[in-house]
Copies of this chain bind each other. A is one copy, B any other.
Amino acid sequence: MTELEQYVTSYFGVAEPEELEIISSFFKPETIKKGDYFLLTGKAADKLSFIQTGLLRVFLATENKEVTQWISTKGYFVTDLSGFIFEQPARWTIQALADTELFTIKREDYKKIGTLMSKWHELEKLFIARCFTTLEDRIFSHLSMSAEERYTLFFEHNKSLFNQVPLQYIASMLGMTPETLSRIRKK
């Protein structure tokens, strides 16, 4: 099984080798350089990718500051989910934090899968439901934890990110300032 097939399997749980091959064939390799934009807020969110190497930051620039929503690394998927699904302008901007290799599927091809595989929409549903659950946990962390507790929890599960990603972005993603994160880490 190729790495791409593993990514597809881990997110969509596709079982039949033939189906998996069909789906994977729609994904095309793509490379973006550090600093390049994968997606811009307001533009068409018409692709979904798995990250082979590199790092992408999902954020939104407001008047005062940039708010980092998420950071994706190898093995993660990346897209503006609501824009991709509902064919609406992207809510997020997505930028490469390092040179990044992707496997990308265009929305038109993604939509074809649903016509080729009868159970595809159910797999999609389960995929999105897992994304929902992840966000539910994240909301809970903001309702019930201090900045330090959020940091500790996140650090336990994402140690490897801390070598690769500027801490200011992790701070933003956890809902605190870089200074606060720095002070928490000093302990």
Interface residues of A (CB under 8 A from B): 60, 62, 65, 67-69, 81-82, 85-86, 91, 114, 118-119, 121-122, 124-126, 128-133, 135-136, 138-140, 142-144, 172-173, 175
Contact = CB atoms under 8 A, between A and B. Distances in A.
Stoichiometry, copies per complex: 2
Contacts of A85: 125-126, 129
B144 A82 contact: no
A16 to B, nearest CB: 17
Contacts of A136: 69, 81-82, 91, 135
Given A136-B135, A139-B139, A62 B144 contact: yes
A122 B132 contact: no
Given A139-B142, A142-B175, 6 more contacts: A81-B136, A82-B130, A86-B126, A125-B128, A128-B128, A132-B135
